[in-house]
Structure 1
């Protein structure tokens, strides 16, 4: 299945394996249609382990947004409840149903979700298995190699 740029960018950011392909796709002139780009969102890398997805959800109530993490797929769905009172003379603020699917790397887990100032902020963490962490290999005087883990800078 082909995702437009941004749908698999978290996987690319974490694994760096498809980042160049995604950048080429973006620069090749392929544009997102309005349904795929609504509402706008940001993917933020805070540090090596912490990431966040920010989605503009102004006008949505918490019970109108559903977030589901299943395997390495994160789905965010917004459904507007029709409780309009009054007649619009001008309607310039988009307020329609949406669905975004994000493909996460196998090591990324969803930590929490909050709404702040009209932004849905989904906090993610890249949990690196101990065997994948960098290790320093010391050369000793005997035939054994001594291996110790490199301590991460906080």
Structure 2
């Protein structure tokens, strides 16, 4: 059983995590589960992922993949043939829209339709300026100590 969590204490001490809290709040709300078409999400390496969607019966021209910031949308629309009268219609060729939330810096590398499966490869590419970097510690140059020997001054 899911319960709604109150994230307001986190808002007092964190900055820039609004999107994370919004995702957690959305995940806790039960949604109308339309699980069609079936799909898999696989993590191939630390930075690469693959989404495989079963779209048997759909052609490349009937599928649309749209990548927006932090969102991947896959739509399928089958043109209906009014001339055909079905005696039994058991194939699920209805239109669909599937959305996937993407983390920052995840981009679509490729998409292909193979044997009724739509295969979408994704890669997380963190920009160089956001990667951790080592900061060199420069020691302050030692001050040259000049010793002065004071002697008696002859008058």
TM-score by length of 1: 0.63
Aligned to 2:58: 60
Aligned to 1:143: 139
Highest relative contact order (Cα 8 Å, sep 6+), 1 or 2? Answer: 1
Could you list the runs of 5+ residues in structure 1 that have no partner in the other structure? 1-16, 145-154
How far, CA to CA, are the matches of 1:126 and 1:134 in structure 2?
15
User: 1:40-55 to 2 correspondence within 5 Å?
Assistant: 40-55=38-53
**Cα RMSD, aligned residues only:** 2.9
Indicate the structure with greater strand content: 1
How far, CA to CA, are the matches of 1:110 and 1:132 in structure 2?
20
Matched pairs, number? 119
How far, CA to CA, are the matches of 2:55 and 2:46 in structure 1?
27
The CA deviation at 1:86 is 4.4
Aligned to 1:117: 115
How far, CA to CA, are the matches of 1:129 and 1:94 in structure 2?
42
TM-score by length of 2: 0.62
1:99-149 per-residue CA deviation (whole Å, 9 max, x = no partner) reads 01111112101111100111111111100122444556788xx628xxxxx
How far, CA to CA, are the matches of 2:82 and 2:37 in structure 1?
20
Larger radius of gyration: 2
Could you list the runs of 5+ residues in structure 2 that have no partner in the other structure? 1-19, 141-155
